[in-house]
Amino acid sequence: NAGVTQTPKFQVLKTGQSMTLQCAQDMNHEYMSWYRQDPGMGLRLIHYSVGAGITDQGEVPNGYNVSRSTTEDFPLRLLSAAPSQTSVYFCASSYWGSGNTGELFFGEGSRLTVL
């Protein structure tokens, strides 16, 4: 099992450019989510999904778009990058069973710089 795979690991963008961060998991997890990690802020939820075809907004969704067409993949799209989106992004997944329990599995992170 590869676990949770995130790509790219590093990316530099210019303001206004668009890009997609890829996240794939091979554990058949229903729940997938995207977070950003900024100094002094902790991890903040951007978007999440509890299954294919279902997505919802988290704490900081503005400027980001997601879709969940398959159980395995949950890409995060930056529509028009802004310097405020400079951050480290993490994708995470878990089982979505009764009682909402499940260990979290994280990708290795993607460091994005917007100039």
Partner 1 sequence: KNEVEQSPQNLTAQEGEFITINCSYSVGISALHWLQQHPGGGIVSLFMLSSGKKKHGRLIATINIQEKHSSLHITASHPRDSAVYICAVRSGGGSNYKLTFGKGTLLTVNP
Q: Which two tokens stand for residue 58?
A: 């988290």
Q: Is 105 in the site for partner 1 (CB under 8 A)?
A: yes
- Position among 41, 79, 83, 113 found at the interface with partner 1 (CB under 8 A): 41
Q: Is 115 in the site for partner 1 (CB under 8 A)?
A: no
**Rounded Cα gap, residues 32 and 55, in angstroms:** 9
Give the residue among 92, 88, 91, 90 at the shortest CA–CA distance from 111.
88
Whichever of 92 and 114 has its CB closer to partner 1, that residue is 92
Q: Is 77 in the site for partner 1 (CB under 8 A)?
A: no
Q: Is 106 in the site for partner 1 (CB under 8 A)?
A: yes
CA distances from 48 to 13, 39, 59, 85, 115 (A): 24, 22, 10, 18, 27
Query: Rule CB under 8 A: which residues touch partner 1?
Result: 31, 33, 35, 40-45, 48, 50, 54, 56, 58, 90, 92, 99-109
